[in-house]
């Protein structure tokens, strides 16, 4: 029957049936080295230890080691044991290497990714270590449910639960549109003006996706009148609160979900406050949708990751991280604003907006052709920028109530230090 050798967090699944014991061990070790599960320099167990673990003869393990040493997969030295041999990585060739280098800009001011160097590694790892200890009183599933409810109460009361604060927009994430279209939904982009998404243009739809606290990418907060319209709207509203923690010139805007909990689905994320690689978020769902949503999320993040985030929030570490990050991003925003309002751009008809909150700003341009020209020239200089055109609904899509296309640059606050750097486009680094 199949056996497993576990070394650390590595599992080698070996078929040791009948006379294929030696062949199975050789194949498994080669595959582990070839795929990188066994890294160069990794020291393997002695033949005696591995034989005991697998329940096979020691001579069989010794013969396999000798064979793989002869083939160059392993190295063996007296007193040092048997280790995975060094391997030279395959040369991708000049053409592939050039393409890889071309894909990495010299300077990157695109929006969407926080400053990953600010991730609280020490505090996060310490929290994860505490949450990894088994509890004698409750199962992991019960612990997750209890911790989730506790952190949700704290989250809503401290950050997003303030009440009384004042279909997919034409400008937004293409990923959102792709997901909806992939589910067979017919999309209707609605215009966005100075008061946010025009809710009246969503009449007759079954559901709407909004970013009311800080519309992406235009940066406007949903006006109190539009918030009331959304709360009174008959369909399901998905409230994407992707960067609700970062407010600079005003108090945090309360979650729309608090105004209409029976039909607003609130979605928060740690992708901006911590790191997108964690792949952690949270939902506040109307009771009638809870069972269906829970079933869809059954195969979500690991229990340890969920417990770690819950503990990180309830312990106060999350609050401390938000305060540190908010101060750092505000300083970058202020520096960026000073540069963009400097003498070089004065009088060129460029206006900065969307800077009261969030991790990006919008530099308005007069027309789409100018937006494309600026981005093209920036790309030639090794500077990666996004324009509003990238986030606009597909050409030809019906956008009722709009007077035309907007033009501008979407500039991320997290990736740039915003100081003059010799050899770089002036003002960026």
DSSP assignment of 221-286: PPPHHHHHHHHH-SSEEEEEETTTT-BSSSPPPPPGGGT-TTTEEEEEESTTTT-GGG--EEEE--
Angle (nearest 5°) at CA 44 between 43 and 50: 160
Query: What is the rounded average pLDDT for all residues in the chain?
Result: 76
Q: Do the beta carbons of residue 54 and residue 5 sit within 8 Å?
A: yes
Q: Tell me the pLDDT band of 18, cut-offs 50, 70 and 90.
A: low
Fold category of 3-84 in CATH: Arc Repressor Mutant, subunit A (1.10.10)
| pLDDT recorded at residue 425 | 42
Fold category of 121-320 in CATH: 3.40.640
pLDDT in tens, 151-161: 555 555 544 54
**3-state secondary structure at position 294:** helix
pLDDT in tens, 175-215: 777 777 777 778 888 888 888 888 888 888 888 888 888 88
pLDDT in tens, 358-401: 888 888 887 888 888 888 888 888 888 888 888 887 644 444 44
96's tokens:
């592939």
pLDDT surpassing 60 at residue 403:
no
For 156-191, where are the alpha helices, taking DSSP H only?
A: 174-182
d(CA 177, CA 63): 57
* Cβ atoms < 10 Å from Cβ of 162: 15
Task: Tell me the pTM.
Answer: 0.65
pLDDT in tens, 32-59: 888 778 888 888 888 888 888 888 889 8
Q: Do the beta carbons of residue 279 and residue 301 sit within 8 Å?
A: yes
Angle (nearest 5°) at CA 349 between 360 and 332: 25
pLDDT in tens, 260-279: 888 889 988 888 888 888 88
Q: Do the beta carbons of residue 220 and residue 195 sit within 8 Å?
A: yes
For the chain, the domains span 3-84, 121-320, 325-412
pLDDT surpassing 50 at residue 421:
no
Closest to 419 (Cα-Cα) out of 361, 335, 350:
335
pLDDT in tens, 209-218: 888 888 888 8
């Amino acid at each position: 029957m199949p056996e497993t050798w576990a070394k650390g967090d590595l599992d080698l699944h070996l078929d040791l049936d009948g006379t294929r014991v030696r062949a199975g061990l050789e194949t498994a070790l080669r595959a582990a080295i070839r795929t990188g599960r066994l890294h160069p320099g990794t020291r393997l167990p002695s033949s005696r230890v591995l034989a005991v673990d697998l329940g096979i003869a020691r001579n069989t393990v010794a013969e396999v080691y000798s064979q793989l040493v002869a083939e160059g997969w392993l190295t063996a030295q007296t007193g040092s044991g048997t280790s995975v041999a060094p391997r030279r990585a395959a040369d991708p060739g000049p053409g592939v290497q050039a393409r890889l280098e071309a894909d990495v800009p010299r300077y990157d001011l695109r929006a969407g990714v926080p400053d990953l160097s600010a991730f609280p590694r020490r505090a996060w790892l310490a929290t994860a270590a505490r949450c990894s200890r088994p509890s004698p009183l409750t199962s992991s599933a019960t612990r997750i449910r209890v911790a989730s409810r506790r952190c949700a109460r704290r989250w809503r009361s401290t950050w997003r639960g303030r009440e009384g604060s004042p279909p997919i927009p034409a400008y937004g994430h293409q990923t959102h549109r792709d997901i909806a279209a992939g589910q067979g939904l017919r999309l209707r982009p609605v215009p966005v003006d100075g008061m946010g998404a025009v809710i009246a243009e969503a009449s007759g739809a079954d559901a709407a996706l909004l970013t009311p606290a800080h519309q992406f990418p235009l940066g406007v907060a949903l006006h109190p009148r539009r918030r009331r319209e959304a709360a009174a709207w008959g369909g399901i509203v998905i409230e994407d609160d992707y960067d609700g923690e970062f407010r600079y010139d005003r108090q945090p805007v309360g979650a729309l979900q608090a105004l209409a909990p029976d039909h607003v689905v609130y979605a928060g994320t740690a992708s901006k406050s911590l790191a997108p690689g964690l792949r952690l978020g949270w939902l506040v769902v109307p009771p009638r949708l809870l069972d269906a949503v829970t079933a869809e999320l059954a195969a979500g993040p690991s229990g340890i990751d969920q417990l770690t985030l819950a503990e990180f929030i309830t312990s106060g570490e999350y609050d401390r991280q938000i305060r540190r990050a908010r101060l750092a991003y505000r300083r970058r925003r202020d520096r960026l604003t000073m540069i963009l309002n400097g003498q070089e751009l004065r009088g060129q008809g460029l206006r900065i907006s969307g800077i009261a909150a969030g991790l990006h700003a919008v530099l308005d341009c007069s027309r789409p052709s100018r937006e494309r020209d600026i981005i093209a020239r920036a790309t030639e200089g090794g500077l990666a920028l996004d324009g509003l055109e990238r986030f606009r609904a597909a050409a030809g899509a019906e956008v009722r109530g709009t007077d035309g296309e907007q033009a501008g640059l979407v500039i991320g606050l997290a990736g740039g230090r915003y100081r003059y750097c010799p050899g770089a486009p002036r003002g960026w680094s």
